[in-house]
Amino acid sequence: MAFTDTRFNVNLSILFTELPLLERPAAARAAGFTAVELWWPWVDAPVPEQAELDALRDALNDAGTRLVGLNFYAGQLPGPDRGALSIPGEESEKFRANVPVAIEFATSLGCTTFNALYGNRVEGVSPEEQDRLALENLAFAARAVAGIDGTLIIEALNAPESPKCPIVSAPKAIEVVDAVNAATGLDNARFLMDLYHLSMNGEDLDEVIDRYTDKTAHVQIADNPGRGAPGTGELDFDALLDRLKKAGYDGWIGLEYKPGEAPSASSFAWLPAPLRAAP
């Protein structure tokens, strides 16, 4: 890997999951990483007890790991990605209740980037109604995030693994980003470019990078097939990350891959230790 100024972070919701949540920051730091991101850790609690928030904050601070990205509440993850913000009733209400809690927690750690998973299609509700609700909730989140000069990011998932998700292409995700910015006038919604999901959708990654890097605020990577570490599949990450850099991207590259059967710490052989700490 020839990118000495690339900023890599590790996602503690898919890596180091063989450990309890509060032990993962220290494990990531022991593996050389100084920056991490998280899906919302409490899948059944959009508003967890303050003691749980404090304990995770302390674990991150004590380990010397910086939080650089956080998902808003999205329901049961991992699993078939479903989101919450486009599902009427209790799920939508949970999403809205979570937004101020997530913002307060993240900003106490210096994090201002928030991922909002759109949500799967559900029976008994028209796609049009779900899309209307989603735009309302995304605009709500974007306005809340604007209060701390933050960024709301929208990602495309992949159709084979998340067949009920309506956002399964880069152009569709960009359409949602543009709609949120138009609704709020804030221009703080951006694209989360997950190269694994996009490759699973059969998209031309070079074209996606060339067309959408200027609207991208975060990048995540995993190899394809298998969603493993770079080098376990067929994607050319040297070329892809070089193309991103030439397109003007200088943000975080989130490692969101499955470590396989071995402990997570053994899955980073592809990334030289000096590149794991933020430059």
Which are the catalytic amino acids?
Answer: 155, 256
Coil, strand or helix: which one is 248?
Answer: coil
Cβ(38)–Cβ(12) below 8 Å: yes
Token couple for 109: 């750690």
Q: How many angstroms separate the CA atoms of 154 and 214, rounded?
A: 14
What is the biggest distance separating any 2 CA atoms in the chain, rounded to whole angstroms? 52
Peptide bond into 78 cis (omega under 30): yes
φ and ψ at residue 232, rounded to 5 degrees: -95, -10
Q: How many angstroms separate the CA atoms of 219 and 237, rounded?
A: 12
Q: Residue 44 CB: number of other CB atoms within 10 A?
A: 9
